[in-house]
Amino acid sequence: MKVVFKVVVLVFLMAGIAACNNSDSGALGENGDGTAGTAPNAYIMKAVIDSVEWTATSVDTKVEQSTIYITGKAADGSQVILELSERPGIGIFPMRRGNGQAGTYVINTGIKYYAPFAGTSGVINITEYVKDSILKGEFSFSASNTMDLHLIEKGVFSAPLHQNASKPAL
């Protein structure tokens, strides 16, 4: 009888530990389909850059004057920077000179590629905007300098939205 009791206690203890590890209380993460998770701090940035999957290891938000800068930094030193007018709202915004939406891709050597270099070169789709909390969406753009062109596709992000926030990403 003591053995059965110990086994039952052990099973309940292991189930409790597993439940704690799967909780959504502030854990960084995603839903497994490339979209941001529902945890309060589920900040991510992912994209496919020149046909190669790219994932940020940190996501920073900086607010300067009337512009929000969301920067995803990868382990190799490369970065994707999204520039948004401060209160973009939900919707699809073309990256175009003079309208407050832009993108920058920085390779690991520090060379920068810009969108829009000229004309319209991509979009930012804001899917969720909660003032002083979180900004979620999708993006794609082509970024260039005078030498090269990079294609940034299938981008998703979830970023903290408060003055000069910085959070690690999954």
Burial of 86 (0-12, 13-18, 19+ CB in 10 A): exposed
Share of the chain above pLDDT 70, in %: 64
- The answer to whether the peptide bond before residue 88 is cis (omega within 30 degrees of 0) is no
For residues 157 and 49, is the Cβ–Cβ distance under 8 A?
no
Neighbours of 153 (CB within 10 A): 14
Phi/psi region, residue 13 (left: phi>0; alpha: psi -120 to 50; beta: rest), is alpha
Report in angstroms the alpha-carbon separations of 13 from 7, 17, 20, 45, 140: 10, 6, 11, 36, 46
Which two three-digit tokens encode residue 76? 């190799």
Structural domain tally of the chain? 1
Predicted pLDDT at 151: 94
For residues 34 and 46, is the Cβ–Cβ distance under 8 A?
yes
For residues 144 and 155, is the Cβ–Cβ distance under 8 A?
no
Q: What is the pLDDT of residues 26-54, one digit of tens each?
A: 223 344 334 444 344 568 999 999 999 99
Region 69-92: mean pLDDT is 89
- Whole-number Å distance between alpha carbons of 80 and 32: 21
pLDDT at 76 > cutoff 90: yes
- Domain carrying residue 16: 2-168
Return the bridge partners of 96, or none: 120
Average pLDDT, the chain: 73
State the pLDDT confidence band at 117, using cuts at 50, 70 and 90: low
Predicted pLDDT at 29: 38
State the pLDDT confidence band at 115, using cuts at 50, 70 and 90: confident
